[in-house]
A and B are shown apart, each in its own frame.
Chain A
Amino acid sequence: MHRTGELYGQFQTLEQQKESSTLGMWIFLVTEVLFFGGMFLTYTINRHQYFTAFGIGSNTLDIKLGTINTGVLILSSLTMAMAVWSAQVGKKGLVTGFLIATLALGTVFLGIKVVEYKQKFDHHLIPGHGFDVWYQVDNTKPETEMGKKLLDDEREELHKATLTDPDIQSHAQLYFSLYFAMTGLHALHMIVGAGLLIWLIKLSMRGRFTPQYNTPVEIVGLYWHFVDIVWIYLFPLLYLIDRHR
């Protein structure tokens, strides 16, 4: 199709074009809701059945990193929203700045995620043949008294859990399967989002976004906020099971 400036050939007006893109993105987000929804359903039913194992699995996650990451992601949502605002009011320099900030925060999030994944790998908590919930308590050499006590507590917990759920290996593995599937898919969405941000930054550096034409920033913003929302649910569901013991 022929393009005339910002207007694509199939549209009659910029108005119509903007309307279509925004609606298109929203509808895409609907499909995303149901996409993640299928996993949330799988999660719900398994968690209901194997609550103990899910608690054990959840308690191995690093709550500090999780909380920090939640903060980072929320902050990136803020900078994204600010980028949209800057485009709407025509502050071209700010648009680029906020987009870069968003990208940076997104990268920090992914970096922290990598650290967490690495931890799970070291602790033999990747579902598959080497999976072993006992690995960590059996193979850690605590340096402090405090660390030793914590480890003993943990061993105690595991023993108790094994009593209620003898097949805790399988069921904890189920938890980690869901953990990796859900956070992995979420991370994949972040990576796609980062790609989109890089594209936006390029356009923005060329000064393309004006109060009249800023739809790309807006719809990428929608996507980014949606990914944030998914995390808002993932965080309590994965990190905060049975924390109060």
Chain B
Amino acid sequence: MQSQLPLYPPEASNFAPHVDALMIFITSVCVFFAAGITIAIIYFFFKYHRKQVDAIGVPIHGDPRLEAAWIIIPSILALAMFAWGAVVYVDYRHTPSDTLDIYVIGKQWMWKVQQPNGLKEINELHVPVGRNIRLILASEDVIHDFFVPAFRVKMDVIPGYNRYNTMWFRPTKAGRYHFFCSQYCGTNHALMGGWVTVMEPTEYAAWLSGSGAGGANPVAVGEKLFAEKACITCHLANGTGRAPSLNGLYGAQVLLAGGATVTADEAYIRESILQPNAKIVARYEPLMPPYQGQLTEEQVIALTEYIKSLRSQPVPVKGSGIAPVRGDETAPAPEKR
């Protein structure tokens, strides 16, 4: 900590310096106006204090030039604040592609965290310094909010089958920092917090494998589930089954019946498992049974992780709903159904 009474929390992520700079800028503008107006009021108050009981003031009705000035100048400043804030915000929402994905599940009143190798934590989150981290957030009951002041990041965690919120950051300083639930969620909302531990990458790796007894690798779990739940009967890897191959699905553009495309991100995969018929892949029949209510939140995550792990494998030639890489000019236009 800085001093006895710090004015801002530690800066421990890539966003922190930007947000603090933004804060300083806006606060300066605020102080400028607040001080200017206060000083003007005090000055006028004394300077033009009533000297005679029946004195009246000089009748001045207004001045269009002044009005124009104090419409235009604040507008410009406001625009600057908006623009700068927007730039930072777009950065928040622009997740890089090389992230380490960690699942975070909120429920009244605790956080369950699952590391990429399946290690589970409760009210603790370990991350390596210098890596881009993406948190994938889901809620089991009401709305929560994951908030790390030292990272200046915060995102609501919303219940519902078609909703994952995500957020990303890059820790820049090793240490232990508070995280909080910052959306009011009932009785023990205030206790629904914990600690983020930012470690050196080597330590992190050691920690992951060292305390690895906590859980199995979700990809492996997912692979087993994929067989157990009969996914594999339809989703043949070579794309010849009744269902599209899932190889290379993650991150690709999927063409849907009706002509729209979606990006196959976690939310899409999750939805495709729980409510497959919400979005039908072009050229396939809506055969897949919905798994809503048949899989636990953890199993969904495991399956999703497994499907994501198929990313590196080659995309099958035929039958997949996945759009090929960009630039394939010879591709025929999608047919209308």
Chain A residues in the interface with B (C-beta under 8 A) = 163-167
Contact = CB atoms under 8 A, between A and B. Distances in A.
Interface in B277-307: 277, 286, 289-290, 292-293
Nearest to A167: B292
Given A165-B277, A166-B289, 12 more contacts: A163-B277, A163-B286, A163-B289, A164-B277, A164-B286, A166-B275, A166-B290, A166-B293, A167-B275, A167-B290, A167-B292, A167-B293
Question: Which 5 A/B pairs are nearest by Cβ-Cβ distance?
Answer: A166-B290, A164-B277, A166-B292, A164-B286, A167-B292
A167 B278 CA distance: 11
A163 to B, nearest CB: 6
B230 to A, nearest CB: 16
Interface residues of B, number: 7
A163 B290 CA distance: 8
A163 B292 CA distance: 12
Interface in B301-317: none
A163 B293 CA distance: 15
A164 to B, nearest CB: 4
A167 B274 CA distance: 10
A167 B289 CA distance: 11
Interface string B85-100: 0000000000000000
Contacts, number: 17
Nearest to B162: A49
A165 B276 CA distance: 9
Contacts of B292: 166-167
A65 B52 CA distance: 81
Nearest to A161: B277
Contacts of A166: 275, 289-290, 292-293
B213 to A, nearest CB: 37
Interface in B232-290: 275, 277, 286, 289-290
Contacts of A164: 277, 286
Nearest to A170: B292
A52 to B, nearest CB: 8
Contacts of B286: 163-164
A165 B292 CA distance: 10
Contacts of A165: 275, 277, 290
A166 B278 CA distance: 10
A117 to B, nearest CB: 31
B166 to A, nearest CB: 21
A167 B293 CA distance: 9
Contacts of B289: 163, 166
A164 B257 CA distance: 14
Interface in B187-244: none
B256 to A, nearest CB: 14
A245 to B, nearest CB: 16
B32 to A, nearest CB: 40
Contacts of A163: 277, 286, 289
Contacts of B290: 165-167
A165 B288 CA distance: 11
A131 to B, nearest CB: 17
A49 to B, nearest CB: 8
Interface string B123-158: 000000000000000000000000000000000000
Contacts of A167: 275, 290, 292-293
A97 to B, nearest CB: 55
A165 B289 CA distance: 9
A96 B275 CA distance: 58
A163 B275 CA distance: 10
Among B275, B277, B286, B292, chain A packs the most CB atoms within 10 A around the CB of: B277
Nearest to A162: B290
A184 to B, nearest CB: 27
A221 to B, nearest CB: 45
Nearest to A165: B277
Contacts of B293: 166-167
B54 to A, nearest CB: 37
A154 to B, nearest CB: 20
B260 to A, nearest CB: 14
A32 B290 CA distance: 41
B294 to A, nearest CB: 10
Nearest to B291: A166
Interface in B34-49: none
17 contacts: A163-B277, A163-B286, A163-B289, A164-B277, A164-B286, A165-B275, A165-B277, A165-B290, A166-B275, A166-B289, A166-B290, A166-B292, A166-B293, A167-B275, A167-B290, A167-B292, A167-B293
A165 B279 CA distance: 11
